[in-house]
Amino acid sequence: MITARAHTNIALVKYWGKKDQQLIIPQTDSLSLTLSEFYTDTGVEFTDGLTTDQIQIDGQSITGHAADKVKNFLNLVRQISGINRYAKVVSTNHVPMSAGLASSASAFAALATAASKAAGMNLDRRSLSRLARRGSGSATRSIYGGLVEWHRGTDNASSFAEPVMENLDFGIEMIAILINTSKKKVSSRHGMQSSVTSSPYYPAWRKVVAHDMIAIKEAIKNKDIDQIGHIAEENALRMHALTLSADPGYTYFTGDTIRAIQAVNHLRSQGISCYYTMDAGPNVKVIYDRKNREKIIQSLGEIFGKEKLIISQPGPGVKIINK
């Protein structure tokens, strides 16, 4: 069995919409930070004697929609590699306190890496990034560590990620505030498509991302955490405006999401710089310079409880962790 470890990522410039739903070609570029604290280990073995793929996640055999997504992905790997055996897949999510932050990004980045290797292929990172993309868009970026850009491209060959800065030495850090860990009502896949087809703001979003990609790469070059955080915060709010402006409109925010936003704004008004971002769920992630960590923990801990705060550093790219 070949086992790979991939870390999840938080988008600072978000991916929210596909141009090609089959190949998962996005409407826009995006840029993320890979995170040290949240990762998935996935083992894959193609063996004789199986009559179907066997998939186990966190100790449970899975069936239904989640299993179908994995089987479709394994079909793709079989098609590319020419292998004709079924696979045994064993996957474990490492997320502190079973926080509900497990993500398809780390899952499909680990699966792409383990399955392609188990099928006898030796793919380079760019090819792994393309392959991971076919499982889930955000997985495209989780092949690499640090700050990572996904070029939207126009076809399978041109849509892949690459690192912007892999080893980060300028103190950027993130706290995840665990607000609600129950399963979301609107999946990202459905939600983003609804935004593409029904939000009148979608054309403006494409322009926002084109602008933010240039600005954030400049901020990264300057190692300017305030500028990175500011761009990420505005980009997140504008992504969430696409959910509110869809038909039917919806939101991933809860009351506690707003409370967290207000808490970050309050910290900033006190001269402690930190910035928020949210994905397709209510949890809020706070980006800041690690020199401000204690003050931020103190303040957010008073509101949410320190046990609800998880600190994460920038994380590494995908690795095979056995032979």
> Which of the stretches 11-19, 194-202, 210-218, 284-292 binds ligand 2P0 when contact is defined by CB under 6 A?
11-19
Shortest separation between residue 208's beta carbon and ligand 2P0, angstroms: 13
Cβ nearer to ligand 2P0, comparing 91 with 104: 104
Among 280, 286, 296, 300, contact with ligand 2P0 (rule: CB under 6 A): 280
User: Structure tokens of 64?
Assistant: 């239904």
Using the rule CB under 6 A, is 11 a contact of ligand 2P0?
yes
DSSP 48-59: TT-SS-EEEETT
What are the contacts of 246-252 at 24+ separation with CB within 8 A? 246/191, 246/194, 246/195, 246/198, 246/199, 247/194, 247/198, 247/199, 248/194, 250/185, 250/186, 250/191, 250/194, 252/184, 252/186, 252/191, 252/278, 252/279, 252/280, 252/281, 252/282
Inter-residue contact 128 to 115 (CB < 8 Å): no
Shortest separation between residue 138's beta carbon and ligand 2P0, angstroms: 3
Among 3, 30, 194, 235, contact with ligand 2P0 (rule: CB under 6 A): 30
Using the rule CB under 6 A, is 3 a contact of ligand 2P0?
no
**DSSP secondary-structure letter at 183?**
P
Cβ nearer to ligand 2P0, comparing 88 with 189: 189
Give the number of other Cβ atoms within 10 Å of residue 152's Cβ.
Answer: 20
Q: Identify the CA nearest to 100 among candidates 165, 227, 8.
A: 8
Of 121-150, which residues contact ligand 2P0 (CB under 6 A)? 136-138
Inter-residue contact 86 to 49 (CB < 8 Å): no
Shortest separation between residue 218's beta carbon and ligand 2P0, angstroms: 20
Using the rule CB under 6 A, is 104 a contact of ligand 2P0?
yes
Shortest separation between residue 223's beta carbon and ligand 2P0, angstroms: 22
Cβ nearer to ligand 2P0, comparing 260 with 267: 260
Using the rule CB under 6 A, is 276 a contact of ligand 2P0?
no
Helix pair angle (64-81, 125-135), 10° resolution: 140
Using the rule CB under 6 A, is 243 a contact of ligand 2P0?
no
Of 140-199, which residues contact ligand 2P0 (CB under 6 A)? 188-189
DSSP 87-98: EEEEEEEE-GGG
In the chain, alpha helices (H): 64-81, 104-118, 125-135, 188-198, 202-221, 225-244, 255-269, 293-304
How many residues touch ligand 2P0 under the rule CB under 6 A: the total is 14
Cβ nearer to ligand 2P0, comparing 142 with 273: 142
Cβ nearer to ligand 2P0, comparing 103 with 292: 103
Which residue ranges make up the site for ligand 2P0 (CB under 6 A)?
11, 14-16, 24, 30, 104, 136-138, 188-189, 279-280
